[in-house]
Structure 1
Amino acid sequence: MADIIQLLPDHVANQIAAGEVVQRPASVVKELLENAIDAGADMIKLIVKDAGKTLVQVIDNGKGMSSTDARLSFERHATSKIKNAEDLFQLHTKGFRGEALASIAAIAHVELKTKQDADDVGNALVMEGSHVVSQEIVVTPTGTSVSVKNLFFNIPARRNFLKSDTVELRHIIDEFHRVALAHPGISFALYNNGSESFNLPISNYRQRIVNIFGNKTNEKLVPVDEDTEVLKISGFVGKPEFAKKTRGEQFFFVNNRFIKSAYLNHAIASAFDGLLKNGMHARYFLNLTVDPQTIDINIHPTKTEIKFDDEHTLYAILRAAVKHSLGQFNIAPVLDFERDPNLDTPYNYKENPVTTPKVEVDRTFNPFNEAPVTKSEGRSSSGTSFRQAATKQTPSDWESLYVGLESKGNESQHDFAEVEFESEEETLSIFEGDHQVEQSHTTYQLHNKYIVSTIKSGMLIIDQYRAHQRVLYEEFLRNMTTREGVSQQLLFPLQLHFSPQDIAIVNQLKSDLEHTGFVFSNVQEELVEITGVPVGVPESEVSIILEQLISDVENEVPDSNFSATDLLAKSMAKSLAIKTGQSLKKDEQEHLVNKLFACKDPNVSPANRVTFVTMSVDELDKKFI
């Protein structure tokens, strides 16, 4: 029998490796930015076109490469970062496996220009699908420029799986933020389709955060600083009152490398325990410095997951450090057992001597006799005592109190005869007679989550949250389609602060939001001013609605096939729907049930989840067999 196992060609092996390393344009951005940092650059420029599908270019002023190194850098497992296996546990660089450029070159058109400082001219290398097209000498500045064009040109299936430009650009910006936050000592710039999106000068860590997320972020940060033998922590956490419903601004950096860790995230959530509302997430920007020998980075293709030797110790230190910072800056409640402020002596009485109050008693006082005016009685504001005023009315004067009441009574009777009372408007019920009483007892709320109603064949159980989502979704969709959204004006304009990239999304959705009832008076670089909101939307919920909406648009929930109007209606319905756990009155329950079955599609929620189930009498009977 013939042999069936054979070695794969290099270009096929590179394409397979590219499936792990390069998942989308953001993966290319991450690898190229990290290579530029490893090259010692202090100024890095990122240029993207069509969300990276057409072009991703990274220009740096690092040390550059020789002609031999430029050619060798596109070979698999060719790297300058490690020499032997022991170096994997002493990593101080970003890349180390030597697969990035080889994987990128296998699925894109790559043009590399590089020059070392000591050389007069540089080298240009052009590759298409792992094949070298040309290599020549060119005039280029010191450093390296890598241009990746037409990503996945030879793998159309992978290209078809890419999301829309909005989503892919969001992933690129996320990777840009992660690299820029980890290295405030390097200048970064991002250009998207010819326009400048970010220009981050060299600064300290706090200023780098403010430059990325807006000027209002500065007042929301609480510094965290802890130095132990095991772990060094530096960075900032957000104040509890500025927490968000989304997990956007949460960054862990271990030895200047961005990581994701649900375990360490739980430590932060535990430190904020009791300070955040349900469903809210704290923001944090924390740098963790540990011994490279105590971590293993090479466990995930994107290197965003790290294995720690002693996670429990890190958890305890991180939780204590954040909790200490929150208490130190009077954000968390602090108990002080040494002093009770309620027992402090007021300032005005601190130096006065203590005197015993004197009580004067008139032992000769008789309430049935007319008593002389005492000294204490003479101090009244009218100058006469209460007893004197009481004894002025003698029993013989009681008849004078009723003089003239008879005539006054006739006049008042005559006046009341001409008074007209305004009757209240009666609300007529659809159901006449005793049917209204029966209707009020047809729905019941179960665990503040389900509405149970009786039907002819048995029982109906409705999920109140999903049902209300369906009702609001169709209502918002109708308002935006017919452009008849009703707005209620705010007494004072509502000012909300967002990052520049979030403001861009608000501008995209502004017209659709106005059709639902929002009124925008001003939209600036980091400020949104709202003077009107849709009827029924509380003012306190507006910021939550917009944050959720921006997050849904960035992540394209539920799918790219839906229109922006449909996405907006779904996001607003999800934010404003009656939440699980909210108690409803009888008329509210009935109104929700009637509204649900008046919808075009009452069976499912906007997210295609079941809104109600029915249980027949036969099914109930079987439960008791």
Structure 2
Amino acid sequence: MSSIIQLLPDHVANQIAAGEVVQRPASVVKELLENAVDAKATDIKLIIKDAGKSLVQVIDNGVGMSVTDARMCFERHATSKIRQAEDLFSLYTKGFRGEALASIAAIAHVEMKTRQEQEELGTHIIIEGSKFVSQDVAVLPRGTSFAVKNLFFNIPARRNFLKSETVEHRHIVDEFQRVALAHPNIHFTYYHNGGELFNLPPSNFRQRIVNILGGKTNEKLVPVKEETEIVSIAGFVTKPEFSKKNRGEQFFFVNDRFIKSGYLHHAIMAAYEGLLKDGCQPGYFLYLQVPPNTIDINIHPTKTEIKFDDEHALYAILRSAVKHSLGQFNVSPVLDFERDSNLDTPYAYKDTEASFPTIQVDGNFNPFADEKPNRHYAADSRRNSRAETSSWEGLYVGLKHDTEMSFEGRSSQQSMTDVSEMQFESEEVNASLFDDSDIEKAVNKTYQIHKKYIVNPIKSGMVIVDQQRAHQRVLYEQFLTNMTVFQAASQQLLFPLNLYFSSGEMELVHELKPALSNTGFVFDQNAEDHIVISGIPVNVTESEVSIVLEQLISDLQDGIPENSFSQTDSIAKSMARSLAVKTGTYLTEKEQENLVNGLFACKEPNVSPFQKPTFITMRVEDLDKKFAI
């Protein structure tokens, strides 16, 4: 029987490896930027076309490569960082596996130009699908230029799984920001479809954060610094009042490498305990320096997860450092034991003896002695009382004569009236305890239970409505109708609102502007780091605008649907979730009735926009069974 196991060809093995290394255009951006940083570049340019599907190009002024290295870098597991297995535990660079360029070349058209500083001429190599097309000598500037074109050209199934250009571009921006934040000493420039999006000059950590996320970020930052034998911590956290619903502004860097760690994130949340609103997330930009032999960065293909030797100590140090910074800068409430200078003894009275109070007693005082009244006062009081009496006695002049005349007229009238002909009004006695109108009101009355459910009696029993889900359904259909019919009403603001967002969020807001305008939002002039809103929908208050937009951005972070109806549906759902009355909110009887009537006027009152039941019914028979013995 012949053997059935055989070695895969190199180009097939490279395509399989590309499945782990290259998931989307952002993966190519990450690998090429990290290679440029490892090449000791001080100026790096990133050029993107069509969200990386057509072109991803990285140009640096690093050390460059020789002719042999330029050819060898595309071989599998070819690297300049590793010589022996022990080197894996003393890594100070990023790219060390030597499989990134080989994987990229297997699924794209790659053009590389490189030259070392001491060389007069450089090397120009073109590779298509792991096949070397050409290798020439060329006059080039110092450094390296990688151009990756037509990504996944030979794997159409993988290309079809890519999201819309907006989503893919957002992932590229995320990777660019992570590398740029980790290396503020490098000048980064980012171009997309011919336009410059970022121009980040060399700076310190704080200025780099502000340049990426906008000028308003500076007032949000609280510095954090801690030096220990285990770890060195530096960076910034945001003030609690600037917390958001999403986790977009959360960055951990370990030895200048971006990582994701739920364990360290929990330490930050523990430091913010009692300072954040429900569901809100703090922002942080923390740089950790640890000995390379105490971490393992080779546990995940994307190298974004790290294994620490002593996680418990790192957790405690990070939590205490953040908590100390929040208290030091008066962000979190602390007990103040400082002495108030106003309570100190003045200098002039420092050596003065205290004076004791004295008591004076009148020995001739007799509480039982008769007091003689003041004659003048008594005379004046009698005179005033007499004057007042003369004034009100005049009111009754002639009253006796009028009274006698009225009695005489009444007696003569009574003599002319026969008592037998008089009709007395009798009150009809009703056997029922309640009026019919009261009974009808009681039947239609709604009741709120635990500020969560609304109970409404019906003929067959009762209906129990979930107030939050019911309001979501009502608002969802209202927003959907307004956006599809283009008849949304808007209310003008006396003072326009200026809302600041990061560059990635601003791009998302610009993408959503047409749909938001159909809901009633009115946008004024555009700006790079903020939007100006002069009108809002009638059912949105001014204080809710920022909450609605932040929730909308958070819900659509994973991608904006390409279909216009799906995009409208997603926006309507997100706004309904933000504006719906929450569990725990007290509703008046009129509000309860309006909510119930609005729910049953919807097209699909049975479920919320998120396919959860909005109400249940209980029949009288079901209640009878509960009381059955």
Return the TM-score normalized by structure 1.
0.85
After superposition, residues 461-480 of structure 1 pair within 5 angstroms as: 461-480=464-483
Query: How big is the shift at 1:432?
Result: 6.8
Q: Label 1:360 to 1:187 Cα distance change in 2 as closer, same or farther (>3 A).
A: farther
**Superposed displacement of residue 151, structure 1:** 1.0
Matched letter for residue 234 of structure 2: S
Q: Which residue of 2 aligns with 1:384?
A: none
Distance 1:438 1:18, change over 3 A: same
> Which deviates more, 134-143 or 431-440?
431-440
Task: Give the Å deviation of 1:547.
Answer: 1.7
Task: Write the deviation string for residues 275-316 of structure 1: whole angstroms up to 9, x where unpaired.
Answer: 111111110000011111111100001010111111111111
Offset of residue 119 of structure 1: 1.2
- 510-519 or 255-264: bigger deviation: 510-519
For 1:362-395, what per-residue CA distance to the aligned partner results, in whole angstroms no more than 9, with x for missing partners? 979999865799xxxxxxxxxxxxx99x969843
8 Å Cα contact 1:166-1:554 kept in structure 2: no
- Deviation, 1:219, is 1.0
Q: CA deviation at 1:61?
A: 0.6
Task: Please report how far the alpha carbon of residue 401 of structure 1 lies from its aligned counterpart in structure 2 after TM superposition.
Answer: 6.5
Change (3 A) 1:34 1:348: same
CA distance in 2, matches of 1:95, 1:618: 71
Alignment of 1:533-544 (within 5 A): 533-544=536-547
Q: Show the counterpart of 1:436.
A: 441
Aligned CA distance change for structure 1 residues 110 and 393 (closer, same or farther; 3 Å):
farther
CA 1:433 to 1:358, structure 2 compared with 1: closer, same or farther past 3 Å? same
Rounded Cα–Cα distance in structure 2 between residues aligned with 1:198 and 1:367: 99
1:476 shift after superposition: 1.2
C-alpha distance in structure 1 between counterparts of 2:395 and 2:536, whole Å: 58
Match of 1:420 in 2: none
Aligned twin of 1:552:
555
How far residue 540 of structure 1 moved from its aligned partner, in angstroms, is: 1.9
Q: Residues 171-228 of structure 1: CA distance to partner in whole angstroms, max 9, x if unpaired?
A: 0000001000000000101100000000000001100001001111111111001000
**Aligned counterparts of 2:106 and 2:157: Cα–Cα separation in 1:** 15
Query: Structure 2 matches for 1:211-250, cutoff 5 A?
Result: 211-250=211-250
Question: How many residue pairs are counted as aligned between the two chains?
Answer: 586
Which residue in the other structure is 1:594 paired with?
Answer: 597
Alignment of 1:265-280 (within 5 A): 265-280=265-280
Q: Which residue of 2 aligns with 1:108?
A: 108
Aligned equivalents of 1:455, 1:26: Cα separation in 2: 58
Q: Which residue number corresponds to residue 417 of structure 1? A: none
Distance 1:84 1:133 in 2: 33
Alignment check: 8 A CA contact 1:223 1:236 kept = yes
2:601 is the alignment partner of 1:611: no
SS of 2:188's partner is strand
Instruction: Within 5 Å, give how 1:336-355 maps onto structure 2.
Output: 336-337=336-337, 339=339, 341=340, 344=343
Question: CA 1:561 to 1:293, structure 2 compared with 1: closer, same or farther past 3 Å?
Answer: farther
Partner AA of 1:212 in structure 2 = I
1:546 to partner: Cα distance: 1.4
Which of 484, 487, 490 is 1:484 aligned to? 487
For the 8 Å contact 1:112–1:146, the answer to whether it is kept is yes
Structure 2: distance between partners of 1:229 and 1:367: 92
Contact 1:163-1:560 at 8 Å conserved across structures: no
Relative to structure 1, the CA distance from residue 348 to residue 111 in structure 2 (aligned partners, 3 Å threshold; closer, same or farther) is same
Residues 327 and 559 of structure 1: CA distance in aligned 2, closer, same or farther (over 3 Å):
farther
1:317 shift after superposition:
0.4
CA-based RMSD:
3.4
Distance 1:358 1:398, change over 3 A: farther
Residues 342/153 of structure 1: CA separation in 2 closer, same or farther (3 Å cut): same
Structure 2: tracts of 5 or more residues without a match:
398-435
> Does the CA contact (< 8 Å) of 1:444 and 1:453 recur in 2?
no
- Check conservation: 2:444, 2:457, Cα contact below 8 A: no
- Per-residue deviation at 1:346? 11
Q: Give the aligned partner of residue 175 of structure 2.
A: 175
Output the CA distance in 2 between the equivalents of 1:35 and 1:603. Answer: 56
**Is 1:505 the counterpart of 2:508 in the alignment?**
yes
**TM superposition shift of 1:543:** 1.0
1:99 counterpart residue number: 99
Amino acid at match of 1:503: M
Give how far 1:131 is off: 1.2
Measured at CA, do residues 346 and 244 of structure 1 come closer, stay the same or move farther in structure 2, by a change above 3 Å? Answer: farther
Q: How far does residue 7 in structure 1 lie from its aligned partner after superposition?
A: 1.9
SS at match of 2:2: coil
CA distance in 2, matches of 1:211, 1:391: 87
Q: 1:245, CA displacement in angstroms?
A: 1.1
Inter-CA distance 559–507: structure 2 relative to 1 (3 Å threshold): closer
CA distance in 2, matches of 1:345, 1:106: 80
Question: Residues 64 and 344 from structure 1, CA distance in 2 versus in 1: closer, same or farther, beyond 3 angstroms?
Answer: same
Identity among equivalent positions (%) equals 64
Return the offset for 1:486: 2.5
Query: Within 2, Cα distance between the matches of 1:616 and 1:2?
Result: 74
Aligned to 1:291: 291
Q: Contact 2:64/2:143 (CA < 8 Å) preserved in 1?
A: yes
Indicate which of 578, 582, 586 corresponds to 2:581. Answer: 578
Given that 1:25 and 1:151 are in contact with CA atoms closer than 8 Å, whether structure 2 keeps it comes out as yes
CA 1:176–1:367: 2 relative to 1, 3 Å: farther
Scaled by the length of structure 2, the TM-score of the pair is: 0.85
Q: Which moved more, 1:514-523 or 1:298-307?
A: 514-523
Look up the SS of the partner of 2:47 in the other structure. Answer: strand
User: Equivalent residue of 1:41, what SS?
Assistant: coil
Look at both structures and tell me which one has the larger radius of gyration over its CA atoms.
2
Letter paired with 2:527: Q
Q: Which residue in 2 is equivalent to 1:525?
A: 528
Task: Tell me the distance in 2 between the aligned counterparts of 1:367 and 1:554.
Answer: 94
Provide closer, same or farther for how the CA distance between residues 63 and 448 of structure 1 changes in structure 2, counting only shifts above 3 A: same
Deviation for aligned residue 1:129: 1.3
| Structure 1 position 80, deviation (Å) | 0.6
Q: Which residue number corresponds to residue 151 of structure 2?
A: 151
- For the residues of structure 1 that align with 2:351 and 2:440, how far apart are their CA atoms? 76
| In structure 2, C-alpha distance between the alignment counterparts of 1:568 and 1:347, rounded to whole Å | 67
Structure 2 equivalent of residue 323 of structure 1: 323
User: Residues of 1 paired with 2:582 and 2:162: CA distance?
Assistant: 34
Q: Report the equivalent of 2:389.
A: 399
Q: Which residue of 1 aligns with 2:519?
A: 516
Measure, in 2, the Cα distance between the counterparts of 1:392 and 1:127: 124
Letter in 2 for 1:594: N
- Per the alignment, residue 258 of structure 1 pairs with 258
Cα 1:587–1:93, aligned 2, differ >3 Å: closer, same or farther? same
1:137/1:541 Cα in 2 relative to 1: closer, same or farther (>3 Å)?
same
Conserved in 1, the CA contact under 8 Å of 2:472 and 2:577?
Answer: yes
The answer to whether the 8 A contact 1:57-1:146 is kept is yes
Q: Deviations over 1:486-524 (max 9, x none)?
A: 233334332222224433333333343333222334432
Q: Cα–Cα, structure 1 residues 490 and 109, in superposed 2: closer, same or farther, change >3 Å?
A: same
